[in-house]
Amino acid sequence: MTNWQALEKKYFMTTFKRMPLTLDQGQGARVWDEQGKEYLDFTAGWGVNSLGHCHPAVVGAVNLQVRTLIQASNQFYTIPQIKLAELLVGNSCLDRVFFCNSGVEATEGAVKLARRYGKLHLNGAYGVVTAINSFHGRTLAMTAASGQRKFQEPYTPVPAGFVNVDYNNVNAVKEAANSQTCAVMLEPIQGEGGVNIPDDDYLKGVRDWCDGKGLLLILDEVQTGIGRIGTLFGYEQFGIEPDIITLGKGLGGGVPIGAFLAKEKASVFAPGEHGSTFGGNPLACAAAYATLHFIIDGDIPSRVKQTGAYLMSKLEKLATKFDFIAEVRGRGLLVAVQFDRDLSDEVVRACLERGLLLNPVKPNAIRFMPPLNITRRDVDEAITILDPVLAEVGKEMQKDGGSDRHQRTISEEGN
């Protein structure tokens, strides 16, 4: 057999910390490696495969479109693009949309739009306030926007115009803004930061303050959008309406696409001020339309809310068994388990060996972001794998003197 991992090391830039697994096929919440071993996938392409791998609605739409029209310049109108735009606007609080190829292109575009707004309406203001532990993408500008030193330090000096402040702190936003500020950009829930959830009144407080100052509020919904946390868009859970939102990841059901949407007042681009060669191409838009249509018609967000609550309850029971679990937190199917020490790699690798794929989002936290249409049976299977892995970790810690709490079995807990 071909040693694909050796070939990757020979040819590919060493930008990824990969797991020792070469995937070959996927269907639903399952993937198979090149030798045919099956895995339960609770990463879903980092939240991209919103309906699982190779969902029939997405496959059918792509098969039809690839035989019809794959790419066309945005010099011309194309039907899938317009249909997707209508569906997004019609099911959101926003009025206009621009399509691109990824989440980071969406956040870049949103910041460009905010700066254009600042030039036209705020005496040339261009600064954007973002949050510490945020993640807005890996372009040079979005590295500056992302409030994580580990992403910024390799590329200093990073572009000016961004200030990172404490998350979940309205006063920190107020204190950081000045006459050169045009917008505040926040994630409703910080995904890459470790699934950090703000107080219920945080976004409302920022929204009210932005309104008072005439600033734009951008919500980065690349991870929380398209049903991931139990509503079609994350902003719906916080009782506010943003001026601009960004989308990516799950929008295309596995096919690369990004988008940013804006209220009419913030939609200030003139022809030629922004563009994209591949953005909004017919193939990607057909996939995204099929994905979004299925999620809306099937009321998938409600299902996410229910299944997510079930997953949280199972993880919280594990937290009562293992004292090295410091916290379980999440909304919908964006969930993290935080440990009281750096155990993520160990736990994730052990789960991999047993057929469960998880994401070590932080050295001390693992993230669950499975397909939105997983079943309770899938959740039970994941817990059945995770539970003994944690038990083994706990035993090793006891040997090292790191934990002496009695670990009760599930049967002893009456579950």
* Residue of 41, 220, 243, 387 marked active site: 220
Is residue 409 over pLDDT 70?
A: no
Q: How far apart are CA 237 and CA 242, in angstroms?
A: 12
Q: How far apart are CA 210 and CA 380, in angstroms?
A: 44
Chain centroid offset of residue 150 CA: 19
Helices (H) and strands (E) in the chain, counts: 14, 15
User: Is residue 395 annotated as a catalytic residue, yes or no?
Assistant: no
Spatial CB neighbours of 360, under 8 Å, sequence gap ≥ 6:
344, 345, 347, 348, 366, 367
Residue tagged 């010099």 (tokens): 75
Mean pLDDT over all residues of the chain? 95
Residue tagged 């919440």 (tokens): 29
User: Is residue 249 annotated as a catalytic residue, yes or no?
Assistant: yes
Collapsed DSSP state (helix, strand, coil) of residue 165: strand
Q: What is the mean pLDDT of residues 395-412?
A: 55
Band (297; pLDDT cuts 50, 70, 90):
very high
Question: What are the pLDDT digits (tens) for 104-127?
Answer: 999 999 999 999 999 999 999 999
* Residue of 42, 135, 260, 294 marked active site: 135
The dihedral region occupied by 56, where left means phi > 0, alpha psi between -120 and 50, and beta the remainder, is alpha
pLDDT for 406 = 37
* Residue of 249, 314, 321, 362 marked active site: 249
Bond into 157 cis (ω within 30): yes
Q: What is the 3-state secondary structure (H, E, C) of 43-106?
A: CHHHHCCCCCECCHHHHHHHHHHHCCCCCCCCCCCCHHHHHHHHHHHHCCCCCEEEEECCHHHH
Q: What is the mean pLDDT of residues 168-181?
A: 98
Question: What are the pLDDT digits (tens) for 182-216?
Answer: 999 999 999 999 999 999 999 999 999 999 999 99
Is residue 411 over pLDDT 90?
A: no
Collapsed DSSP state (helix, strand, coil) of residue 313: helix
- Provide the pairing of β-strand 356-357 with 38-41: parallel
pLDDT for 281 = 98
Q: How far apart are CA 183 and CA 119, in angstroms?
A: 12
pLDDT for 396 = 86
Question: What are the pLDDT digits (tens) for 6-33?
Answer: 999 999 998 888 999 999 999 999 999 9
Collapsed DSSP state (helix, strand, coil) of residue 261: strand
Q: How far apart are CA 39 and CA 18, in angstroms?
A: 16
319 HSE (CA, 13 A, CB side): 16
**Is residue 240 within 8 Å of residue 203, measured between CB atoms?**
yes
Is residue 301 over pLDDT 80?
A: yes
Q: How far apart are CA 216 and CA 122, in angstroms?
A: 10
Question: What are the pLDDT digits (tens) for 57-109?
Answer: 999 999 999 999 999 999 999 999 999 999 999 999 999 999 999 999 999 99
Is residue 412 over pLDDT 60?
A: no
Residue tagged 């994905």 (tokens): 291
pLDDT for 414 = 33
Band (376; pLDDT cuts 50, 70, 90):
very high
Q: What is the mean pLDDT of residues 300-313?
A: 98
What is the pTM for the complete model shown?
0.94
Beta strands in 123-223 (DSSP E): 127-131, 162-165, 181-186, 216-220
pLDDT for 224 = 98
Q: Which domains does the chain have, with CATH numbers?
A: 4-53+300-413 (3.90.1150.10), 56-297 (3.40.640.10)
pLDDT for 1 = 65
pLDDT for 398 = 82
User: Is residue 208 annotated as a catalytic residue, yes or no?
Assistant: no
Tokens standing for residue 53:
């791998």
pLDDT for 195 = 97
Chain centroid offset of residue 112 CA: 21
Tokens standing for residue 308:
């997510």
State the distance between the two ends of the chain, measured CA to CA, in whole angstroms: 44
Query: Which of 119-123, 146-150, 233-237 is predicted least confidently?
Result: 146-150
The amino acid at 215: L
Band (407; pLDDT cuts 50, 70, 90):
very low
As a residue count, the chain comes to: 415
Question: What are the pLDDT digits (tens) for 347-373?
Answer: 999 999 999 999 999 999 999 999 999
Beta strands in 169-215 (DSSP E): 181-186
